[in-house]
Amino acid sequence: MRILDLFKTADIQAGVEKYKNTPHAVLLDVRTEEEYKYAHIPGSLNIPLDRLETIETAVPDTKTPIFVHCQSGARSRRAAAMLNRLGYTQVEDIGGIQQYTGKTERG
């Protein structure tokens, strides 16, 4: 790993496009329910970070590609590490929705 990689931030725009082009992928939003209701990316699944251990109910196949994001990128990094520990093998942290410029929805 190069030292500059430590400061590299995820590109949520590119991550959402990759999600859209990945068959059977899940776009996972680990923000709170309140944050999710305020605005979220259409098609995303909301499982707050503090309830992430319940993911096997929604995503039982650990080989499912999961693109995880949060508000700023901090929780998504933790979520990606947690998903790896839970045995999920295709996890990508795509950063924070605050950098997202695409369409969102409420509710």
Architecture of domain 3-99: 3-Layer(aba) Sandwich (3.40)
- DSSP secondary structure of 14-70: HHHHHHHTSTT-EEEE-S-HHHHHH-B-TT-EE--GGGGGGHHHH---TTS-EEEEE
Residue range 63-83, pLDDT digits in tens: 999 999 999 999 999 999 999
Whether pLDDT at 47 is above 50: yes
**Residue 27: phi, psi to the nearest 5?**
-100, 105
At 6, the amino acid letter reads: L
